[in-house]
Amino acid sequence: MDHLILRLLLLLVISKGVSGATFTFVNSCDYTVWPGILERPDSPRLNSTGFELPRQTSRTFQAPTRWSGRFWGRTGCNFNASGSWSCQTGDCGSGTVECNGTGPPATLAEFTLGGVGGQDFYDVSLVDGFNLPVIVEGTGGSGQCPWTGCSTDLNLQCPAELQSGNGSACNTACQVFRSADYCCFAPYGSPSTCRQSVYSEIFKAACPKSYSYAYDDFKDTLQCTNGADYTVTFCPSSR
C-alpha cells in the first residue's frame, strides 16, 4: 500500500510538471491595462498575445510546459481615426490588440518554465524601461518561490531626461543616449566591464527586487520547481 501511495504521488507531481503553469493576471490599477505577450521563437504558444484587462479584474491562462516569454502591461490604448490600434505606453506596434513584439519603455515579467531539473526561472526586468509597477508571485512549487518585481511607481522618480510620454513611462539611459557603456555594447559587453550607471542605480534603488541593466540578472533571476503557478499583478500594493 505504501508503494502504491508513493506511485500515485509521483504521478501527481509528474502530471503537474507536464501541464506547465497557470498564469493569473490581476489589474489592481484604477484604469484599464492591456497585457502584451511575447514568446521566444522556440517556445510553445499561448492562445493570446494581447488582451484587455479592465480595472480591478483578473484573467487566467494555462501555459504549456517549456513555455518561455515575457508579459508587460500597455496603457492608454485605443483605436485612432483610421482604425489603427495604439497605446500610450508599452505599445507593440502591431496596430491591433494582439502583439508581435515588445514596445519599450515597459516593465517586463519574464519566464522560462520547466527548465533543467523541472525548474522555472522568472524575473521582473527594467532593462527595457518602466511604465507600470508589476510584481510576480509563485504558489504551489517547491522551494521558497519568492515574490519579485517593482511595486514602486518609478515614473515619479524618473529623471527629466529619461521621461517618456509626458511622464507616463521612464526610458533607460541606453534608450536615450545609445552609448556603449549604458547599453553594455562592446567594449563594455561583459559583466566585468558593464557596471551600474547613475541611472540604473536610480532604478535599482527604487525597485531592488527587479534587475536594472543587462548584467544585473544573475542576482535577481529567481527559480521555483515542480509545478508552481504564477500571479502577475499590475499596480500592486506597496511591498
Cross-strand pairs, 34: 74
Contacts of 203 (CB under 8 A, 6+ apart): 126, 130, 154, 172, 210, 212, 213
Residue 29 pLDDT exceeds 90: yes
Q: What is the pLDDT of residue 215?
A: 84
pLDDT tens for residues 60-118? 999 988 899 999 999 999 987 777 889 999 999 888 899 987 778 999 999 999 876 77
pLDDT tens for residues 175-231? 999 999 999 999 999 988 988 899 999 999 999 999 898 888 656 667 787 678 999
Cross-strand pairs, 229: 139
Residue 13 pLDDT exceeds 80: no
CB atoms within 10 A of CB 88: 16
Q: What is the pLDDT of residue 217?
A: 64
% residues pLDDT > 70 (the chain): 88
What is the chain's mean pLDDT, rounded?
85
Going by C-alpha positions, the residue among 192, 110, 209 that lies closest to residue 151 is 209
Mean pLDDT of 9-33: 70
| Superfamily classification of domain 20-234 | Thaumatin (2.60.110.10)
Q: What is the pLDDT of residue 115?
A: 72
Q: Bigger pLDDT: 49 or 11?
A: 49
What distances in angstroms separate CA 238 from CA 128, 151, 207, 235, one per listed residue?
A: 22, 5, 11, 9
Burial status of residue 64 (CB atoms within 10 A of its CB: 0-12, 13-18, 19 or more): middle
Domain ranges for the chain, please list them.
20-234
Are β-strands 108-112 and 119-125 bridged in parallel, bridged antiparallel, or unpaired? antiparallel
**pTM score of the predicted model:** 0.86
Q: What is the pLDDT of residue 3?
A: 39
Residue 5 pLDDT exceeds 60: no
Contacts of 96 (CB under 8 A, 6+ apart): 50, 85
